[in-house]
């Protein structure tokens, strides 16, 4: 039985006071998180150290991105070695906003995956098609090549540390969610693709999150799909009550 993960991607939102208020609220509620759900929060990198110091945090921390280098003359970058030293468990990698606005290719994402694993930070690897690709019936090809190009050089042991997030780009921040059938179909396809490369045991174990306009109203149905193991949540993770509802719905799925 796979555990569920509900991860909140705060993106570039909130002042430090607002971020601390939300983090403290979640910490206060953490004793009521369902036991089968791991809650992950990805605040702006600038706030990770401050949030990490909250006592009995009760949720895991993630970066939203990181460098493919460990240390050195890379002005403005965040090192996975530094993340690890601050107890940051995960880093989101290959988010569509990184691909679109910062021109991250599959090759760059693959090198970030390697850097994270080298430093014992677990990648939350994002993949997903744009609307034109779905309309043209190319969504499976797009997602397959993203997964293959960024992950399939890994050994079985390395791959077992990766969390996959399927995030159709047309659903991110738009209020348009993939239907339950569309989400389930793609998640099953990703799992079958993984099985083809790494075998059934690894494929059955890999956690595949859905992301794209998940909210307090639609999360229960999406998370009830057999191959959907929770969510990567943007906008709705910025409000404590909505995020709590989403976390609780994962516990019942
Ligand atoms: C995201 O940024 O990963 C995301 C899914 O955003 P939203 O939930 O706002 O669509």
* Cα gap 83→120, rounded to integer Å: 10
Residue 57's pLDDT band, with cuts at 50, 70 and 90, is: very high
Catalytic residues: 95, 167
% pLDDT > 70, the chain = 100
Residue 127 has pLDDT above 90, yes or no: yes
- What is the C-alpha to C-alpha distance for residues 106 and 96, in angstroms, rounded to an integer? 11
For 153-204, the pLDDT digits (tens) are 999 999 999 999 999 999 999 989 999 999 999 999 999 999 999 999 999 9
- Distance from chain centroid for Cα 180: 19
* pLDDT recorded at residue 242: 98
Residue 229 CA: distances (Å) to CA of 48, 146, 223:
25, 20, 6
102-125 per-position pLDDT tens digit: 999 999 999 999 999 999 999 999
Residue 252: what pLDDT? 92
96 in Cβ contact with 133 (< 8 Å): no
The set of long-range contacts for 185-193, using a CB threshold of 8 Å and a minimum separation of 24, is 186/139, 186/140, 186/143, 187/225, 187/227, 187/228, 188/226, 188/227, 189/140, 189/143, 189/144, 190/127, 190/143, 190/147, 190/164, 190/166, 190/227, 191/227, 193/144, 193/147, 193/148
The phi and psi torsions of 79 (rounded to 5 degrees) equal -90, 140
Per-residue pLDDT of 203-237, as tens digits, reads 999 999 999 999 999 999 999 999 999 999 999 99
Is pTM beyond 0.85 here? yes
Section 90-95 average pLDDT = 98
- The tokens describing 229, both together, are 């193991």
Kindly report the backbone phi and psi dihedral angles of residue 239, in degrees, each rounded to the nearest multiple of 5, phi listed first.
-115, 120
pLDDT (0 to 100) of residue 253: 85
Fold of the domain spanning 4-252:
TIM Barrel (3.20.20)
> Which pLDDT score, from 0 to 100, does residue 1 have?
82
Q: Does the pLDDT at position 98 exceed 90? A: yes
Q: Rounded to whole angstroms, how far apart are CA atoms 59 and 31?
A: 10
Q: Which residues contact 97 (CB under 8 A, 6 or more apart)?
A: 11, 172
Give the pocket of ligand 1 (CB within 6 Å). Answer: 9, 167, 172-173, 211-214, 232-236
Look at ligand 1, atom 6, and give the residue with the nearest C-alpha.
234
Task: Give 32's pLDDT tier (boundaries 50, 70, 90).
Answer: very high
Phi, psi of 228 (to 5 degrees): -100, 115
Distance CA 130, CA 103 (A): 15
CA distance 66 to 82: 10
Q: Give residue 225's pLDDT.
A: 97
How many angstroms separate the alpha carbon of residue 65 from the centre of ligand 1?
Answer: 15
- Ligand 1 centre to CA of 119 (Å) is 26
CA distance 152 to 183: 22
Nearest alpha carbon, ligand 1 atom 3: 234
Alpha carbon of 171 to ligand 1 centroid (Å): 8
Integer Rg of the chain from CA: 17
- What rounded mean pLDDT belongs to the chain? 97
Domain assignments of the chain as residue spans, ordered by start: 4-252
């Amino acid at each position: 039985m796979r555990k569920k993960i509900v991860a909140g991607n705060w993106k570039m939102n909130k002042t430090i006071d607002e971020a601390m208020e939300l983090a403290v609220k979640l910490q206060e509620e953490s004793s009521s998180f369902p036991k089968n759900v791991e809650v992950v929060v990805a605040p702006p990198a600038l706030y990770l150290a401050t949030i990490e110091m909250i006592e009995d945090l009760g949720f895991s921390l993630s970066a939203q991105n990181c460098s493919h280098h460990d240390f050195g003359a890379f002005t403005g970058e965040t090192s996975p070695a530094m993340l690890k030293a601050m107890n940051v468990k995960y880093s989101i990698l290959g988010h569509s906003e990184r691909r679109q606005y910062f021109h991250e290719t599959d090759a760059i994402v693959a090198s970030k995956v390697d850097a994270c694993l080298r430093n014992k930070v677990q990648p939350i690897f994002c993949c997903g098609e744009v609307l034109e690709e779905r309309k043209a019936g190319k969504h499976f090809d797009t997602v397959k090549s993203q997964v293959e190009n960024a992950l399939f050089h890994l050994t079985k042991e390395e791959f077992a540390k990766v969390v996959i997030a399927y995030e159709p780009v047309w659903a991110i921040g738009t209020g348009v969610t993939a239907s339950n059938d569309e989400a389930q179909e793609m998640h099953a396809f990703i799992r079958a693709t993984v099985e083809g490369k790494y075998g059934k045991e690894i494929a059955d174990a890999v956690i595949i999150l859905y992301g794209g306009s998940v909210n307090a109203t639609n999360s229960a149905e999406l998370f009830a799909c057999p191959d959907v193991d929770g969510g990567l949540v943007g906008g709705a993770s910025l409000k404590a009550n909505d995020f709590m509802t989403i976390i609780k719905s994962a516990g019942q799925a």
